[in-house]
Amino acid sequence: MDRLRIGGQPVSTIAFLNIAMHGHINPTLPVVAELVRRGHSVTYHTSPAFSKEIEDTGATVCLYPGGDQPFPDPPMPLTMLDGLARAAVALLPGVLSDLRRVRPDLIVHGAACPWGAVAAGELGVPAAAAFTTFAFNRYVPSPTRASWELLAAAATRPRNAQSYLRSRWELYRRYNTRGLPLFDLANARQPLNLVFTSRAFQPGVDAFDQSYQFVGPSLGARSPDPSFPADRLQAPVLYASVGTVFDAGPQLLREFATALAPLGGTVIISTGQTDPAALDPLPANVLARRFVPQPEVLARAALFVTHGGMNSVNEAMHAGVPMLVVPQGADQPLVARRVVELGAGLSIRTQDAAAGAVNALARRLLNEPRFQAVAATLQIAQREAGGYLRAADELERYLHRVGRVSRPAPADSPQER
């Protein structure tokens, strides 16, 4: 296949594949935009819900068949494994057909996107994995690893367990699954693994080899929201959000509003799946909106009450904001433990997050200087890791190393700290 040429120099064709969740796709978008800017031809396999965001990067969208996929219900390791395995069986025929047409030089897939890993093995194309949460190994166990907890879940949910085993056998029977973990499908590693956090935040970082590059948060420019009253925010700005995947419900969000209102100049509540009207009546200094321009708010915030999704925590650390983490599920308890371990914030269980308890913890975070000091240290580490520019550099180096591009490798990125 003839490659595109810019200034007489050939560029590469790179295919991204991922699961259709904001937390997995959003960190890759600035990387994709940067690769396009550098002259590479990029395709991205996704669901219709993310088409517009990906098209805005300049990449070519390849839609998965069947429309938007539902989230596993309930979202637990066993149901996630079942969903990933079934999705891989359903999507691989169409994905492979698209990739044979595109003929990529490199496949970049989410670590929790097993069909990306299988497609790379089936086609013999070099691959890199993108970890949008922590990197995992024997010292930092993945939530979907084989464990007693997983066996216990399988005993109580035999239908999910049997469905997973059927799909996993189908993958083994039909495709080259060498290197794909038997159970740990959310941890599909490659010779190059981009981890979207800093070495300072990654637990057990010294146990990972050079195939893991901790590039830090990948934060690109976002379109401004002219409807958001950024110029009317009063310090101190306190911000609470539980993300877009889990439905916190109006009661928990009202607890946050009640707890934070006496402490803040402006309190902002991002309600996600909950209708903001369901929180009424609210104190006069509380602003509730379904969606909030999070980086813009965090740049002004003194405190962030968060569910502990890795993207949100990365953005908070990048802004130097202490956190109160209220984990809902998935990898969020792991992230919450790391925040507390490093002293960047505190954590509370959802069932304990009554207004009085949240208010007391928020007071500590606002009044004890040690939390702000750690947040400032992590802010430096996050920013020095390199972000999306470093990620694009690493992908170009990898292409150069495997002989799939003839343009020179980029200059050295900022050194990891």
pLDDT at position 109 is 97
pLDDT at position 245 is 53
Judged by phi (left if over 0) then psi (alpha if -120 to 50, else beta), residue 109 lies in: beta
407 within some domain: no
Domain shared by 197 and 280, yes or no: no
Radius of gyration of the chain from Cα atoms?
22
57 within some domain: yes
Q: What is the mean pLDDT of the segment spanning 69-76?
A: 70
List the Cα angle 252/256/257 in 5-degree steps. 115
Domain shared by 142 and 20, yes or no: yes
Domain shared by 261 and 321, yes or no: yes
pLDDT at position 10 is 46
410 within some domain: no
pLDDT at position 221 is 65
Distance CA 131, CA 261 (A): 36
Domain shared by 354 and 390, yes or no: no
408 within some domain: no
What total of structural domains would you count in the chain?
Answer: 2
Domain shared by 323 and 257, yes or no: yes
What is the average pLDDT value for the chain, to the nearest integer?
Answer: 89
Domain shared by 148 and 180, yes or no: yes
Tell me the pLDDT tens digit for each residue of 24-65.
999 999 999 999 999 999 999 989 989 999 999 999 999 998
pLDDT at position 247 is 58
Read off the CATH number of the domain in which 344 is found.
3.40.50.2000
Q: Which of 101-105, 141-145, 200-204, 246-250 has the lowest mean pLDDT?
A: 246-250
- pLDDT confidence bin for 146, thresholds 50/70/90: confident
224 within some domain: no
pLDDT at position 268 is 95
- pLDDT confidence bin for 4, thresholds 50/70/90: very low
Tell me the pLDDT tens digit for each residue of 156-175.
999 999 999 999 999 999 99
Distance CA 261, CA 284 (A): 8
Q: What is the mean pLDDT of the segment spanning 263-270?
A: 93
Q: What are phi and psi of 106, to 5 degrees?
A: -150, 140
Q: Which residue has the tokens 């908070």?
A: 316
Q: What is the mean pLDDT of the segment spanning 96-124?
A: 96
Question: Going edge to edge, which strands form the sheet with 266-270?
Answer: 286-289, 266-270, 237-241, 301-306, 323-325, 345-347
pLDDT at position 365 is 97
Tell me the pLDDT tens digit for each residue of 346-378.
999 999 999 999 999 999 999 999 999 999 999
406: pLDDT strictly greater than 90: no
346 within some domain: yes
Tell me the pLDDT tens digit for each residue of 115-134.
999 999 999 999 999 999 89
Tell me the pLDDT tens digit for each residue of 225-234.
778 888 888 9
Domain shared by 303 and 191, yes or no: no
Provide the whole-model pTM: 0.88
Domain shared by 76 and 18, yes or no: yes
Judged by phi (left if over 0) then psi (alpha if -120 to 50, else beta), residue 138 lies in: alpha
221 within some domain: no
pLDDT at position 74 is 65
**Alpha carbon of 400 to those of 181, 213, 408: distances in Å?**
27, 16, 7
Domain shared by 169 and 37, yes or no: yes
Judged by phi (left if over 0) then psi (alpha if -120 to 50, else beta), residue 272 lies in: left
* Identity of the amino acid at 246: F
- pLDDT confidence bin for 108, thresholds 50/70/90: very high
Structural domain of residue 273, as residue ranges? Answer: 230-382
Domain shared by 303 and 169, yes or no: no
258 within some domain: yes
pLDDT at position 290 is 87
pLDDT at position 407 is 46
Share in percent of the chain as helix, strand, coil (round to 5): 45, 15, 40
pLDDT at position 168 is 93
pLDDT at position 5 is 44
